[in-house]
């Protein structure tokens, strides 16, 4: 029947359609492959992450260094951070980069590129045509005195101590925070500092 011929042709046409439309729904950034060497952290698959984002490695690296508050260097397709970081910390900042510099705020697709207009970075979407200024939030730089008693700081709990207290690191200090779990991000009020070791409690401020 003619109708059967039409359906057969339609099915054949569907199989020949390009996969680009489907790929938009499968935009996945690789999870950071991270390991620590002494006091440094190696971001082993940085190159794979950059490839997925379609951005310049130096641009992504400078953003991560600023957000993580640490120096670091690009070595081939990996990055060496000059401090100890967890994969959760790095993944959080990679996602922040994606939200700021990659994903279109109108259609939610990653098919974008960055241009510059009068010193303002503009994110232009190739999928829907939208464009918006890139809104980069300013990061408060650490003060020279570093950690202080009574201060409230947002910290990532990187580990758990022998007594079950969460362990965070900031300004070269090790901070013990009771009642926290590894991988959580909490606001901590510093109660006591002894040398380079500090003790704090989760703050509700």
Residues 32 and 72 in one domain: yes
Residues 38 and 129 in one domain: yes
Residues 30 and 104 in one domain: yes
Edge-first strand listing for the sheet containing 78-81: 34-37, 40-43, 78-81, 72-75
What is the distance between the alpha carbons of residues 8 and 6, in angstroms, rounded to a whole number? 5
Predicted pLDDT of residue 143: 44
What is the distance between the alpha carbons of residues 4 and 147, in angstroms, rounded to a whole number? 75
Global pTM value: 0.57
What is the distance between the alpha carbons of residues 66 and 167, in angstroms, rounded to a whole number? 23
Residues 82 and 116 in one domain: yes
Residue 156 region by backbone torsions, left for phi larger than 0, else alpha for psi between -120 and 50, else beta: beta
CATH number at residue 78: 3.30.30.170
What is the distance between the alpha carbons of residues 141 and 143, in angstroms, rounded to a whole number? 6
Q: What is the pLDDT along the chain (205 residues), one digit of tens a residue?
A: 455 665 666 566 555 544 444 444 567 899 999 999 999 999 999 999 999 999 999 999 999 998 888 899 999 999 999 999 999 999 999 999 999 999 998 888 999 999 988 888 899 999 999 988 887 655 444 444 568 888 888 899 999 988 899 999 988 889 999 999 998 989 999 999 888 899 999 987 6
- How many Å from the N-terminal Cα to the C-terminal Cα in the chain? 73
Tokens of 175: 């901070």
Residues 190 and 99 in one domain: no
Q: How many structural domains does the chain have?
A: 2
What is the distance between the alpha carbons of residues 190 and 158, in angstroms, rounded to a whole number? 17
Residues 96 and 167 in one domain: no
Residues 38 and 127 in one domain: yes
Domain boundary among 133, 161, 188: 133
Residues 75 and 162 in one domain: no
Residue 6, in any domain of the structure: no
Residue 38, in any domain of the structure: yes
Predicted pLDDT of residue 190: 92
Residues 47 and 123 in one domain: yes
CATH number at residue 156: 2.40.50.140
Residue 20 region by backbone torsions, left for phi larger than 0, else alpha for psi between -120 and 50, else beta: alpha
CA-based nearest residue to 138, from 57, 60, 67, 81: 67
Residues 123 and 30 in one domain: yes
Predicted pLDDT of residue 201: 93
Residues 107 and 167 in one domain: no
Q: How far is CA 7 from CA 16, 17, 112, 114, 149, in A?
A: 14, 16, 36, 43, 74
Domain assignment of residue 159, given as a range: 152-202
Residues 63 and 111 in one domain: yes
């Amino acid at each position: 029947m003619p109708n059967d011929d039409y359906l057969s042709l339609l099915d054949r046409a569907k199989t020949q359609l390009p996969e680009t439309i489907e790929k938009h729904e499968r935009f996945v950034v690789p999870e950071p492959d991270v390991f620590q060497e002494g006091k440094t952290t190696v971001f082993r698959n940085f190159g794979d992450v950059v490839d997925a984002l379609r951005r310049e490695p130096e641009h992504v690296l400078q953003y991560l260094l600023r957000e993580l508050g640490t120096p670091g260097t690009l070595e081939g397709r990996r990055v060496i951070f000059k401090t100890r970081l967890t994969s959760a910390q790095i993944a959080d900042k990679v996602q922040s980069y994606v939200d700021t510099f990659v994903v279109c705020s109108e259609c939610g697709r990653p098919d974008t590129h960055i241009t510059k207009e009068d010193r303002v970075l503009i994110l232009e979407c190739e999928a829907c045509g939208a464009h918006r200024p890139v809104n980069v939030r300013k990061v408060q730089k650490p003060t020279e005195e570093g950690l202080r008693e009574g201060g409230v700081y947002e910290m990532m709990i990187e580990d758990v101590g022998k007594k079950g207290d969460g362990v965070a690191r900031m300004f070269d200090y090790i901070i013990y925070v009771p009642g926290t779990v590894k991988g959580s991000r909490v606001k901590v009020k510093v109660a006591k500092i002894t040398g380079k070791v500090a003790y704090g409690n989760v703050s509700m401020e």
